[in-house]
Structure 1
């Protein structure tokens, strides 16, 4: 659905009830009209059994976009990759981000890198899934403190690139100018994205 609309979905968990997957989501976009279009697309999908709206989304702090709506979707378990991940030890650590026809999962797993890749390959074959690994990190000082689900897609892209390129190490391994060139944006724009991302990530601490 997100491939055909301007908005996105945040997935907050899936549970099996009466043989169907029941997932709670936050639909978000820049305008209420775009949220309406996204929810309508979810309702109209052949993959959807039913959709109902929750009273509010007060618990969904930091949702990307200017408009949002909480929904619960019932659908066939076979159309969810959740069980394939969880049954292999992958524990969702943030809301699942769905935008542009892709899903982005942040998970915790207590295995070696080799085992992680082997299990992901099993899921690729079992579910005919297109899975790309963006980043694997080991916890440091407790790890997982800063949740990135409140960031916009662009802020997240810039922030995660900065992390991968060791922008936050001391001394820095890469300059802001180099990161900006890699993303084909100005240095000022990159620093603004990083400033906003850091503000959101540090806002609760």
Structure 2
């Protein structure tokens, strides 16, 4: 039984691995994907996804790229996106799809078999996958498990955030943030923007993100408003 002394971790992973259609099709495109689960059916990985973007054209372009990819076996559309609330948070246009692809190219089993359990939809954009997972492991064991996944899948995995996964123990749920809001907020938190005294200024964060200070503060303001209700 999990105790307060061994409550596990909630970890955000930034992942790249070869022969992955989600990375291939989102590279250099404005639209992105939300992954809602992968299952094995007839020897193929079968995943449910929401394609999201700011315009219908962005979404159409990404769906066409998925259909054209040599790494996908087949694609079929559902009547509506799989996560309406997520769709609203991530873009004004969205479509639900189911994709069949080579099981060997999915990193899902490599993560789940080592105890990494998805805690929210997987985000895929800009040629990267972002997994927020819970795992019952001590911090000093986390690196070894990640290295095992990297070795098995020839993957590159960066740890973007780690928090104790105790029931509500200071864990901020960022599910409802847009991709950009989430990225800016997590960078600000990691760099010590919310520490006292601050370890970084808004201008320094804006320079790192390659945006104006005004734009960065607007992203942070919207993110904080959603997180604080």
2:181 to 155, 180, 185: 155
The question of 1:132 aligning with 2:154 is answered: no
SS of 1:158's equivalent in the other structure is helix
TM-score normalised by the chain length of structure 1: 0.87
CA deviation after TM superposition for structure 1 residue 146, in Å: 3.8
SS of 2:142's equivalent in the other structure is helix
SS of 1:28's equivalent in the other structure is strand
Distance 2:40 2:86 in 1: 27
Distance 2:77 2:175 in 1: 21
Q: Is the 8 A contact 1:94 1:147 kept in 2?
A: no
- Structure 2 runs not aligned, ≥5 long: 1-24
- The 1:118/1:66 distance shift into structure 2, 3 A limit, reads same
Which protein has the bigger strand share?
2
Q: Is the 8 A contact 1:26 1:60 kept in 2?
A: no
- The 1:190/1:4 distance shift into structure 2, 3 A limit, reads closer
- Structure 1 runs not aligned, ≥5 long: none
1:104 to 115, 124, 130: 130
Query: Cα deviations across residues 147-184 of structure 1 (Å, max 9, x unaligned)?
Result: 32432332112100121133334565544344334434
TM-score normalised by the chain length of structure 2: 0.79
SS of 1:62's equivalent in the other structure is helix
1:2 to 5, 23, 26: 26
Within 5 Å, which residues of 2 pair with 1:1-205?
A: 1-57=25-81, 59-63=83-87, 64-139=90-165, 142-143=168-169, 146-169=172-195, 172-203=198-229
Distance 1:99 1:38 in 2: 11
Q: Is the 8 A contact 2:49 2:82 kept in 1?
A: no
Q: Is the 8 A contact 1:93 1:106 kept in 2?
A: yes
CA deviation after TM superposition for structure 1 residue 144, in Å: 7.7
Distance 2:208 2:115 in 1: 35
Query: Cα deviations across residues 45-79 of structure 1 (Å, max 9, x unaligned)?
Result: 11211111111126331321221101111111111
Counting matched residue pairs gives 203
**What's the Cα RMSD here?**
2.2
